[in-house]
Structure 1
Amino acid sequence: MRHIIHFFSYHLILSRQSIRTTRAAGFRLRVRPTVFHPRFFLSSEYFAKFLDGLDLSGKSVADIGTGSGILALAAARAGAAEVLALDINPHAALSALENAQANGFGDRVNVACMNLLAALPVRPLFDVILSSPPKHAGEPRDLADRGWHAGPQYRDVAALFKQASERLKPNGCLYVMVSSDSDLDLFGRLIDEAGFRARLAYERSFYIESMILYELRVR
């Protein structure tokens, strides 16, 4: 079943060649080719709606793997003073920039194309870090598939937790969304090795899996 879902998701959505416009979580979004589509893949919209319940007034926020920029926009809507939206996919970075400007957050949302947080200095920078990384292991077939597959043993996101712990301000937190289909034991080890303690913040079940959102704070 998973292979069938991925087959149709890849060929009908992920690998499309046209720019699409959609509405998700109250935003109007342009989604460029190879960019994770927030309307078809519901995890992003669930995460954005969770952020609506937070008070991020005056906070500095990073959104890692921003895709269309939906979480960065939601953080700005929740009051964040500055949001840095990051993605390794240049088409995603451009989509996030366009969507920040189109939705009235261009003054607070900045965008950069980089691999996780690797290009940022190792010092306290953010009050809150957000990430909804690829939910499945396995070698991605191309750039479009990197929104679905994170490489063997989650190679492409394994450094996320350590990098985040080094760049959070005191009392800062990382919100990360995974799936019931993810290797939760592996994620648990990565979280523990990075020195975080985890709390379940939100869970939403649909169809054949659940989206699980953890709040992580440095021990």
Structure 2
Amino acid sequence: MSEEPGGERVIAGRYRLLSPLGEGGMGTVWRARDEVLHREVAVKEVRAPAGLPASDVERMYARLEREAWAAARVADRTVVTVYDVATEDGRPWIVMELVRGLSLAEVLDAEGPLSPPRAARIGAEVLAALRAAHAAGVLHRDVKPANVLIANDGRVVLTDFGIATVEGSSALTMTGEVVGSPEFLAPERALGRTPGPESDLWSLGVLLYAAVEGHSPFRQDTPL
């Protein structure tokens, strides 16, 4: 990773980081410019927590690469398009299309509960994304308002396949580890059983409830 005199970082000699778009538990998503194709893109950076054992860091980076691999297998307008996986400082950086707009979580925070027709339209688009993913053998496993983007032109896009699993591939989570957002977690996953497409549909149902009520029906003070 190089740094230009103006302070902007360049990833893999190609992607110039311009400004942060958002931060989450696993890192930062940047607005960036692809200096080769001269277009703006989104770049996902993952930062391993301080003190994390090396084996867990490797697993986190493998999960990030799995996100790109899983999302790239799904060709549908309702799923964010992955362009590249760049390697810098021993870490993968996911390069994807820049969707200009807000997440459903941000819309709910700003506007409150949605009307049933609007929620249904968004739900139908997320369902189309899940159908495309499931047809490609991909489970999303973290369907929630923060991972549904509402573009300025009205397009609805499902993003963040960071904990997705691909049919026929080895699991990247340790036995007994719960990965995902507890409020939107299907019962079989909470019980440690093998999830299937129906697990994503459960999460979509909870998302629809949250869209019209403003909060999940399972919101509690602690994850447990």
Note whether the superposition's TM-score is higher than 0.5.
no
Q: Highest Rg: 1 or 2?
A: 2
Q: TM (normalized to structure 2)?
A: 0.30
